[in-house]
Amino acid sequence: MAVNHRTGDEAEVREKQAEELYGLSWRAVMLSLGFLIFSLVWIYKSGLVGHGAQLGESVPVVPAVGALLVLMLLLPLLRKLPTWLRLSRTGALMVYVFLTISVSMSSVGVARMLFPNSTALFYFATPENNFEQFQEHIPTWIRPSGDETIREMYEASDASLTGQVGQGLLGEFAVVPWRAWFTPLVAWTLLLLAAFISMLSLMTMFRRQWVERERLTFPIVQLVMEVAGGQQRDNPLAFFKNPLMWLGFSIAALYNVMNILNAWNPAIPAMGRQEDLGALFTERPWDAIKPLGIAWRPENIGLGFLVPTDITLSVWVFYILLRLANVFQVAMGHDIGGFPFMQEQSFGSYLALGIFLIVIAREHLKTVFRKAVSGLASVDDSGEPMSYRGAVIGFVGGVAFMLLWAGSAGMAIWTAAIYFGLFLLFALVYARARAEAGAAMVWLFPFYQHKKMMISITGSAVYERFGGWSNLTIFSLLMFLSRGYFQSMMAYQIEATKIADEAKIKQRVMSWWLVVALVVGLAGAYVIHLQAYYTHGANILEGGTTQGGYRTRLATQEYEGLASYAKGHVEPDRPRTIGAGVGFLITVALIALRSVFLRFPLHPLGFAMVTAYGGPLWGPFFIVWVIKSLILRIGGMGMYRRMIPFFLGIVIGHFFTAGLVWGWLSAIYEEMGRRYVVHFG
């Protein structure tokens, strides 16, 4: 018996050493795949077939938070299992990281935009909209072959319509024509993989600058690490034993429970999802202040407590100023449509911030390139997600492949270079916003503005003149990259490296794990979307009736705009171009003021965030700015640190109730899910 006991101890030691060396165990791999399959079924039922909660739109994604909560609560029990079945905190964190990427692929901002974008031009073609003129410019390797294949995607397969369907994990299912879809899915996967590797390489170049030199706070990583036990590795349940955490949890849970009950019975009082302050202003010019509503977003209140007060102050101050600017222009006798062009200002602001981030990190970037080219011995890159040489090769190779892909499809290289350049630059700024401000909103960048502003600045004729109609057609096809949020994956990448730092996980193991998560997540996304489309029909899913849901309408509107160019090109849009220029100049001015006056209270990142998607953000940040300012004034940093579990409890309570509980209830009771739709983004 003594020998067996010693052998068991030796096996446990070897297992622990292997996990410390590689940062990944087979148990974490199996759990990651298991949770992903569970999540895919969940998204299929509650996000595609039902419409109660968009689980992949939250930051972090609800299934990842749920998996981490379950694993950490079960960790003491899992440690009592035989050695080969035990899971460590490191394993739980690897499961979380895997799900943040893989689950996002099935969300409204990635696969659910890709499919209608690649097929809408064919299915919705009529003599009136002139779509047929542009169909020849989409190569067969990008779209599925056969008109019937596309028709059945929108109307459900004939087997589904006649009831000849099978039964499986997702319920009823029809046969998907995988052979017709194989080549396009491979092509799209390669493009997204190249974009992902380009972002991962770019993140590697900036990681040390942000993490070690500037020491950014990473609020979302703070949340994850607190749930994972914080600094108390021997007491993984420390976070769950804090009564302040449960107080915050209860407040967020009560808010959501009342809203859910109100969906069942409108007579039950509830706060709803926002408070419309704009309704107080009914006379001109003050009614131009609309929209002005405080969105009840518990996750932004909770995480906002960890955000520097100058950023929270900047968000709500700039939002009010922009609404007042609209009041002023109406009072002066103007009524300019789209004013004050917030999204366009965000484009200019993100552009300025992207340039600034590169400039401020220039010395570090020079070191990176010197190490990549000459192998500078004095620079140690062994602790980076990839070697600096690998990062440079990955970035250049990834971008080159994206350009080659677009060029082969028919897009002019110069158009693709500008478009993908903006895509990567805005991904960098968004990652910075998450690392420094931690706002739990996946749409917090100038979405859709990459293409729109390129057209607004130059007009549409130049793209046809120097690239032909194929250039404009593929430009519209790739709209989903800017209108969706694939570029936000760079934020999960940089957060994953911070988690690796905190948990002592090998950075290069983490990098490979992220790439695996992307590929596996895309495969899962393809399965559940095509299964849903061919079983139920894309026309009636995601809130659609006969013409598809919101993502399908976006695709058709994009192609309607393309068809309108054939009747007459649009001229440069001067007001929107000026709006982008104003956003650029305001951001530059704020950067200069903070450089000269170190205590200047307004932050350029706050301006960029609020112009990008300020409506749901300004209210929660105003609330948390008031509370945090009072806490720091009354109790100082000591009181602030003691209150952190309370605010993180608000986040967990909201994710648990609105995400985990309501996510499943809305999947089971689809009609109730339509009455109370939870939008995390």
- Mean pLDDT score of the chain: 89
Lookup: tokens for 382: 């062994």
- Judged on CB neighbours under 10 Å (0-12, 13-18, 19+), 48 is buried
DSSP 35-97: HHHHHHHHHIIIIIIS-SB-TTSSSS-HHHHHHHHHHHHHHHHHTTS-GGG---HHHHHHHHH
Q: For residue 83, name the pLDDT band (cuts at 50, 70, 90).
A: low
In this prediction, residue 2 carries a pLDDT of 44
How much is the average pLDDT of 179-191? 96
pLDDT at 557 over 60: yes
Does the pLDDT value for residue 674 go beyond 70?
A: no
pLDDT tens digits, one per residue of 428-437 = 999 999 999 8
Most confident region among 327-331, 472-476, 597-601 by mean pLDDT? 472-476
Q: How crowded is residue 27: how many other Cβ atoms within 10 Å of its Cβ?
A: 20
- Whether residue 1 has pLDDT greater than 50: no
Read off the amino acid at residue 243: P
State the pLDDT at residue 541.
84
Q: Are residues 220 and 434 in contact, defined by beta-carbon separation less than 8 angstroms?
A: yes
Q: Output phi, psi for 223, to 5 deg.
A: -60, -50
Annotated domain spans of the chain: 98-675
**Minimum mean pLDDT among 83-92, 415-424, 427-436, 600-609: which range?**
83-92
Q: Where are the alpha helices (DSSP H) in 305-412?
A: 309-331, 342-360, 362-374, 388-409
Q: What is the pLDDT of residue 53?
A: 66
Q: Identify the DSSP state of 166.
A: E
DSSP H/E element including 301: helix 298-304
**What confidence score (pLDDT) does residue 234 get?**
63
SS3 434: helix
Please report how the helices 342-360 and 604-613 are oriented relative to each other, as an axis angle in degrees rounded to 10.
140
pLDDT at 20 over 70: no
From the list 461, 480, 481, the residue with the least C-alpha distance to 471 is 461
Distance, in Å, from the CA atom of 118 to the CA atom of 18, rounded to the nearest integer, reads: 45
pLDDT band at 65 (very low <50, low <70, confident <90, very high): very high
Asked if residues 606 and 486 have their Cβ atoms less than 8 Å apart, the reply is no
* Average pLDDT estimate for 73-81: 75
SS3 274: strand
Residue 628: pLDDT band with limits 50, 70, 90 = very high
Strand partners, 167: 172
Bridge-based pairing of strands 274-276 and 293-295 is antiparallel
Q: Residue 526 pLDDT more than 80?
A: yes
The per-residue DSSP string of 458-492 comes to: H-SHHHHHTTHHHHHHHHHHTHHHHHS-GGGHHHH
State whether residue 293 is helix, strand or coil.
strand
CB 205 within 8 A of CB 391: yes
Between 368 and 542, whose confidence is greater? 368
Residue 648 or residue 84, greater confidence: 648
Q: What is the pLDDT of residues 210-249, one digit of tens each?
A: 999 999 989 999 999 999 887 666 667 888 989 999 999 9
> What is the dihedral sign for C-alpha 669, 672, 674, 676?
negative
Least confident window among 175-179, 312-316, 458-462, 523-527: 175-179
Counting beta carbons within 10 angstroms of the beta carbon of residue 294, is it exposed (0 to 12), middle (13 to 18) or buried (19 or more)?
middle
* pLDDT, tens only, 507-522: 999 999 999 999 999 9
- Mean pLDDT of all residues in 542-556: 82
Q: How much is the pTM?
A: 0.93
Q: What is the predicted pLDDT for the residue at 252?
A: 94
Q: What are phi and psi of 620, to 5 degrees?
A: -60, -40
If you write DSSP's letter for every residue of 528-583 in order, what string do you get? Answer: HHHHHHHHH-TTTSTT-SSS--HHHHHHHHHHHHHHHHHH-PPPP-HHHHHHHHHH
- Mean pLDDT along residues 44-59: 77
3-class secondary structure, 240: helix
pLDDT band at 5 (very low <50, low <70, confident <90, very high): very low
Termini Cα distance of the chain: 57
More reliable by pLDDT, 488 or 267: 488
pLDDT band at 673 (very low <50, low <70, confident <90, very high): low
CB atoms within 10 A of CB 600: 13
| Sign, CA torsion 146/151/153/159 | negative
Helix/strand/coil percentages in the chain, nearest 5: 70, 0, 25
- 24 vs 566 pLDDT, higher one: 566
Convert the pLDDT of each residue in 629-644 to its tens digit: 999 999 999 999 999 9
Nearest to 442 by CA among 271, 631, 656, 612: 612
Which pLDDT belongs to residue 377? 82
What sign has the CA pseudo-torsion 144, 145, 146, 148? negative
Query: Nearest 5°: phi and psi at 395?
Result: -70, -50
Closest CA to 584 of 398, 301, 355: 355
